[in-house]
């Protein structure tokens, strides 16, 4: 049996190795470390990288990775899994999207720099792992009061059918096996979304997808986590890392256009459609939420479905406080979506 070395970390064939990657010493004197799991199968094969929690409030990906590591049979695995289930321990500790010490968004700082802010230092420790991986799945998603379940496939300027890497990314997104995928433009200027780990992987000429999966609702959590665990095994099967064939839904949709719906006014947000509508559609102009003035209690804003066939990819599912411009919905347009029917 031969050992593998991943960025200086050693794992034996047929073993699960665990390391703590040193970043820096904090102001408290405590060591800041990032966990690294390396699972090497009994047989040689490709390397799949799994990452989560660059945003400290997006915890569902952590659970997906945990269950994958628990369920994988190293005797059946051909190749290696490189997993970083907790990219940003500082943001996780405070349940914040950004790092409290410098207010940086970690998923806008890759590949990072060892001489930068603390978030950039953490990114610089993780990004070299991409050199050893053949593909990447990076989890993001909602937390308390939110529900989200789709795959984001970043194709960049390339187009499917004209570029080999773009084709690989789209194929990987479909193989993950959720019903809905989106590979179009971001919600704002491209520059505002630069510095993601998935983009960095793609600049290395390797496929990467973002699993936008998460919720703080236990009922939704128990439904979507198994889908994503299956999605990882689907990708491994497709890469030749695990026996069997991917398990796909009867139909899938590639969303070509979407809307990011935000309230114009702050106040108390009341959803009219609940978590049961995640990945479901409603007709145009359906009332989906209202915002009430917390002082007068009157409705000051209505939010309605914008498309003839509006499908919910991300939704605020609970009565919650909102600020003007907060995330409320990511809504896909089924009218011009591409449908894929699987055997």
CATH code for position 250: 3.40.630.10
**Within a domain: 133:** yes
Claim to verify: residue 105 and residue 211 sit in the same structural domain: yes
CATH code for position 330: 2.40.50.100
Claim to verify: residue 80 and residue 193 sit in the same structural domain: yes
Number of other CB atoms surrounding residue 318 within 10 Å: 15
Segments forming the whole domain that contains residue 300: 257-337
Domain endpoint, select from 200, 224, 254: 254
Claim to verify: residue 210 and residue 313 sit in the same structural domain: no
Claim to verify: residue 299 and residue 189 sit in the same structural domain: no
**Within a domain: 64:** yes
**Within a domain: 146:** yes
Claim to verify: residue 57 and residue 150 sit in the same structural domain: yes
Domain count, the chain: 2
Per-residue confidence of the chain (343 residues) as pLDDT tens digits?
578 999 999 999 999 999 999 999 999 999 999 999 999 999 999 999 999 999 999 999 999 999 999 999 999 999 999 999 999 999 999 999 999 999 999 999 999 999 999 999 999 999 999 999 999 999 999 878 899 999 999 765 556 666 899 999 999 999 999 999 998 888 778 887 899 999 999 999 999 999 999 988 888 999 999 999 999 999 999 999 999 999 999 999 999 999 999 999 999 999 999 999 999 999 999 999 999 999 999 999 999 999 999 999 999 999 999 999 999 999 999 999 999 999 8
Claim to verify: residue 134 and residue 279 sit in the same structural domain: no
């Amino acid at each position: 049996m031969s050992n593998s070395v991943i960025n200086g970390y050693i794992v034996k064939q047929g073993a699960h190795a665990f390391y703590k990657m040193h970043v820096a010493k904090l102001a408290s004197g405590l060591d800041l470390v990032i966990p690294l799991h390396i699972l090497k199968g009994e047989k040689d094969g490709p390397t799949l990288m799994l990452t989560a929690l660059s945003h400290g409030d997006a915890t569902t990906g952590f659970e997906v990775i945990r269950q994958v590591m628990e369920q994988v049979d190293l005797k059946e695995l051909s190749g290696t899994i490189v997993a970083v289930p907790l990219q940003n321990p500082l943001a996780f500790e405070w349940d914040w999207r950004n790092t409290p010490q410098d207010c940086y968004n970690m998923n806008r700082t890759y590949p990072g720099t060892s001489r930068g802010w603390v978030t950039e230092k953490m990114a610089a420790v993780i990004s070299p792992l991409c050199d050893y991986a053949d593909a990447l799945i990076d989890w993001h998603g909602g937390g308390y009061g939110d529900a989200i379940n789709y795959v984001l496939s970043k194709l960049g300027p390339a187009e499917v059918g004209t570029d080999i890497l773009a084709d690989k990314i789209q194929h990987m997104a479909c193989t993950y096996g959720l019903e809905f995928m989106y590979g179009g433009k971001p919600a704002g200027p491209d520059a505002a979304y630069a510095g993601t780990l998935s983009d960095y992987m793609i600049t290395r000429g390797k496929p990467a997808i973002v699993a936008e999966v998460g919720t703080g609702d236990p009922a939704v959590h128990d439904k979507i986590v198994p889908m994503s665990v299956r999605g990882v095994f689907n990708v491994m099967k497709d890469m030749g890392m695990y026996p069997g064939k991917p398990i796909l839904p009867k139909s899938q949709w590639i969303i070509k256009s979407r809307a990011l719906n935000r309230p114009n006014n702050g106040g108390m947000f009341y959803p009219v459609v609940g978590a049961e509508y995640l990945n479901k559609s409603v007709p145009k102009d359906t009332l989906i939420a209202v915002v009430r003035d917390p002082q007068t209690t009157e409705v000051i804003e209505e939010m309605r479905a914008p498309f003839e066939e509006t499908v919910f990819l991300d939704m605020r599912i609970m009565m919650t406080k909102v600020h003007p411009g907060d995330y409320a919905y990511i809504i896909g347009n089924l009218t011009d979506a591409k449908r894929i029917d699987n055997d």
